[in-house]
Structure 1
Amino acid sequence: MKTTIANVSEFEGKTVTIGAWLANKRSSGKIAFLQLRDGTGFMQGVVVKNDVEEDVFNLAKNITQESSMYITGTIVEDTRSPLGYEMQVQEIELIHEAVDYPITPKEHGTEFLMDHRHLWLRSKKQHAVMKIRNEIIRATYQFFNDNGYVKVDPPILTGSSAEGTTELFHTKYFDEEAYLSQSGQLYMEAAAMALGKVFSFGPTFRAEKSKTRRHLIEFWMIEPEMAFVEHEESLEVQEQYVSFIVQSVLQNCKLELETLGRDTSKLENIKAPFPRISYDDAIELLKEKGFTDIEWGEDFGAPHETAIAESFDKPVFITNYPAEIKAFYMQPHPERPEVVLCADLIAPEGYGEIIGGSERINDLELMKKRYEQHELTGEAYNWYLELRKYGSVPHSGFGLGLERTVAWLSGVDHVRETIPFPRLLNRLYP
């Protein structure tokens, strides 16, 4: 009977066949230990010389790393294994012999591993990170589907910038100017006016020449948008959503978190509500922590966000930033028009901002003024203005960066390991 490593617990004491690759091996005289992987997980196969045909044992001793095979044997309990089971091997059918596999069990430099990303993905830790990424995506769909949101797919090619910045990838769209999307938000606002509560999940692109461990050129965003929802309600949705995905990863990725050596005690505490600190108070906190040159009106960098997060054991909302340093579409505070109804959610342990969100301007005349201030002229933005002209309502939304969230929950240092094929300032291969 054919099965997968993920399902071997259903076949204890039974003989099964698994299609697998050899991740590693070691031999001890009359026993060969094969570290097998099949995409669903990792498992040890034990080949005992006296229990198999001579050619099977010789193959087990000589098979090379990443060779593929059909391997048949009995599944037995093994309490020492993270999986809890191993295979007592009876037969091996070699499918393809891999020769001189470049990624050996020794240490390799980051650039070498990135050049071989197509193969590095096979390693146990990279496999674990990708499984955690998948669980976050699965839990995201569950959370929003269960709460009445409709999935909407905004375009990747756009005729304008979502945030009025210059960090865009320019391209030609036949005889028109076009850009790769840096956010689906504007389109999601239109969708919310049609469908109430919506969310998108897709790639976004920032032509930002940054080399930090938190930045990618191409990354994936989850962007909900909600009609008739004001700022405070949006914050509650955000903390409930983040709590849900964290607890889902803890419940469904125990083996992967263990593989990565993640301290799960720090994640078990991640449950709503989350603490909140105003931008004003954050400035004062930073000055107390030694950032004496930070002034009101300046945006926060990675060291500032880390210092603020250190004061809390959960993600923390920084609210009400100055309007001058935020996007044109954010609703001003009703009592302080110099700040806007927005929040950034900062992850613990130095992982930085994982969510940016705000209440959106719903007044037509105010949005016209913002257009003038930000020089958003031309037909490219007319449709967005019309959302305020025909049945405008209070509405809010946010965007969660998937890769930063994966990095935080996995405990990996750099976002380049949290996406299958990272696009970095100096990397477009493989």
Structure 2
Amino acid sequence: MKTTISKIGASAGKQVTLGAWLAHKRSSGKIAFLQLRDGTGFIQGVVVKAEVGEELFAQAKNLTQETSLYVTGVVQTDERSPSGYELTVTDFTVISESHDYPITPKEHGTEFLMDHRHVWLRSKRQQAVMKIRDQIINATYEFFHEHDFSKLDSPILTGSSPEGTSELFATKYFDEDAFLSQSGQLYAEAGAMALGRVFTFGPTFRAEKSKTRRHLIEFWMIEPEMAFVEFDENLEWQENYVSHLAASVLKNNQIELKTLGRDLSKLEAIQAPFPRITYDEALAFLHEKGFDDISWGDDFGSPHETAIAEHYEKPVFITHYPTSLKPFYMQPDPNRPEVVLCADLIAPEGYGEIIGGSERIHDYELLKQRISEHNLSEETYAWYLDLRKYGSVPHSGFGLGLERTVAWLSGVEHVRETIPFPRLLNRLYP
């Protein structure tokens, strides 16, 4: 019977056949231990010379790393194994031999591993991160569909930007200027006026010349938008969504979290509600901690966010930023127009901002004024203004960066490990 490693427990005591690759092997006299992987998991195959014969045993001892195989054997319960099982091999057939596999058990430099990303993905650690990424994506669809959101596909090629064009990749769209999208938000707002609650999920691009462990040039964003939702309710949606992601990873990725050495208590603490502090309170806190380099109206950098986050076990909302720091579409606080009804959600453990969100301006005249103040073309944003002409309502939304969230929940240091093929400032290969 053909099966996969993830389903092998259903065949305990029975003979099965796996299609697999040889991750590693070791031999001890008359026994060879094959570490097999098939994409769904890892399992040890035990080849006993007395049971398979001299010829097959010699072949097993000479197998090379990443050779592909069909392996037949009997499934045995083994409590020492991460999967709970191992395979007593009775036969195997080589599909394709692997020669001079570049990534060996020895240490390799980061640049070497990134140059070989196409095969580095096969390692146990990288597979664990990709499995957690997949689970977060699955949990995202689960959460939003359970709460009556519709998936909306926003365009990647756009003629305008939600946050100005200084960090966009420009291209030609026949005879017009176009840009690679940095956000699906404006289109999601149109979707929310039609469908009530929507979310976009797709690649976004930032031409930001940054080399920090938190930044990618191409990354994926999840951007919900909700009609009839004001500022405080928007924060509740965010903390419930993030709590759902953490709970889903804890439930479904125990093997992967163990592989990565993740401290599970850190994830268990991620439960709504999350603490909330204003920009003013955050600034006062930073001054108390000796950060004298920042004044009211300045944006917070990574050291500032990390210092604030270290004060909490959970993610923390920083709300009510100065209007001058934020994009044109954010709703000003009616009691204090120099700040806007926005929040950044800062993850603990130094992972920085994972969500930015706000209530959106729903008044036509105010939005028109903001477009002018930001020196944007009213003609370019005419369709966006239209949303305030035909039955405008209070509405809010947010954007979650997938790769930063994967890094945080999995505990890996750099976002380059959280996307299959990272695009970095100096990397477009492979």
Q: 2: CA distance between counterparts of 1:359 and 1:55?
A: 71
Letter of the 2:263 counterpart:
D
SS at structure 1 position matched to 2:144: helix
* SS of structure 2 residue aligned to 1:380: coil
CA distance in 1, matches of 2:380, 2:237: 31
Give the Cα separation in 1 of the matches to 2:321 and 2:378.
28
> What is the aligned partner in structure 1 of residue 98 from structure 2?
98
Indicate how the Cα distance of structure 1 residues 225 and 328 shifts in structure 2: closer, same or farther if over 3 A, else same: same
What residue number does 1:38 align with?
Answer: 38
Relative to structure 2, which stretch is displaced further, 416-425 or 161-170? 161-170
Question: Are the counterparts in 2 of residues 76 and 85 from structure 1 also a CA contact under 8 Å?
Answer: yes
Equivalent position of 1:180 in the other structure: 180
> In the alignment, which residue of structure 1 is the partner of 2:61?
61
Q: Classify the secondary structure of the residue corresponding to 1:122.
A: coil
Amino acid at match of 2:403: E
The equivalent of 1:418 in structure 2 is: 418
Matches within 5 A, 1:80-229: 80-229=80-229
Q: Distance in 1 between matches of 2:379 and 2:33?
A: 67
Q: Is the 8 A contact 2:372 2:378 kept in 1?
A: no
- Extract unaligned runs of 5+ from structure 2: none
How far is 1:379 from its partner? 2.6
Q: Determine the structure 2 residue equivalent to 1:248.
A: 248
Counterparts in 2 of 1:296-375, with a 5 A limit?
A: 296-375=296-375
1:51 & 1:324 partners in 2: Cα distance? 75
CA contact (8 A) 2:136 2:249 kept: yes
Does the CA-based 8 Å contact 1:216-1:416 persist in structure 2?
Answer: yes
- Alpha-carbon distance in structure 2 between the residues aligned to 1:42 and 1:142: 27
Give structure 1 regions of 4+ aligned residues with deviation exceeding 4 angstroms. Answer: none
Question: How big is the shift at 1:203?
Answer: 0.3
Structure-1 residue corresponding to 2:266: 266
**Deviation at residue 390 of structure 1 after TM alignment:** 1.2
Q: Is the 8 A contact 2:286 2:308 kept in 1?
A: yes
Contact 1:247 1:268 in 2 (8 A): yes
Contact 1:72/1:92 (8 A) holds in 2: yes
3-state secondary structure, aligned to 1:225 = strand
Shift of 1:53: 2.5
**Aligned-partner SS, 1:419:** coil
Equivalent in the alignment of 2:10: 10
Aligned to 1:48: 48
SS of alignment partner, residue 384 of structure 1? helix
Counterpart-to-counterpart distance in 1, 2:246 and 2:177: 41
RMSD between superposed Cα atoms in Å: 0.6
User: Residue 164 of structure 1 contacts residue 328 of structure 1 at CA under 8 Å; is this kept in 2?
Assistant: no
CA distance in 2, matches of 1:162, 1:347: 24
Corresponding residue for residue 21 of structure 1:
21
Residues of 2 paired with 1:67 and 1:241: CA distance?
Answer: 42
Aligned with 2:308: secondary structure?
helix
Superposed CA deviations along residues 245-286 of structure 1, whole A, max 9, x for unmatched, are 100000000000000000011110110000000000000111
**Equivalent position of 1:386 in the other structure:** 386
Report Cα offsets for 1:334-362 as digits up to 9, x if no partner: 10000000000000100000000000000
Post-superposition shift, 1:289? 1.2
Query: Partner letter of residue 301 of structure 1?
Result: G
Partner Cα distance (2:200, 2:76) in 1? 44
Amino acid at match of 1:358: S
Moved more, 370-379 or 194-203: 370-379
The superposition leaves residues 173-222 of structure 1 with CA deviations (integer Å, 9 ceiling, x where unpaired) of 01110000000000000000000000011000000000000000000000
User: For residues 308 and 165 of structure 1, do their structure 2 counterparts lie closer, same or farther at Cα, with a shift above 3 Å needed?
Assistant: farther
Equivalent position amino acid for 1:403 in 2: E
Asked if structure 1 preserves the Cα contact closer than 8 Å seen for 2:332 and 2:340, the reply is yes
Distance 2:326 2:283 in 1: 16
d(CA) in 2 for partners of 1:399, 1:372: 25
Structure 1 residue 83, shift from structure 2 partner: 1.0
Report the alpha carbon displacement of residue 378 of structure 1 after superposing the two structures with TM. Answer: 4.8
Shift of 1:165: 3.9
Separation in 1 of the partners of 2:343 and 2:378? 30
Percent identity of equivalent pairs: 74
Question: Partner amino acid for 1:228?
Answer: F
1:377 CA drift (Å): 1.1
Aligned length: 430
Structure-1 residue corresponding to 2:282: 282
Give how far 1:305 is off. 0.5
1:145-187: CA deviations, max 9, x gaps?
0000010000000001111141000000011100000000000
Which ranges of structure 1 fall in alignment gaps of 5 or more residues? none
TM-score by length of 1: 0.99
Equivalent residue number for residue 406 of structure 1: 406
Q: How far apart, CA to CA, are the structure 1 residues paired with 2:191 and 2:303? A: 36
Where 1:153 maps in the other structure, the secondary structure is coil
Aligned to 1:71: 71
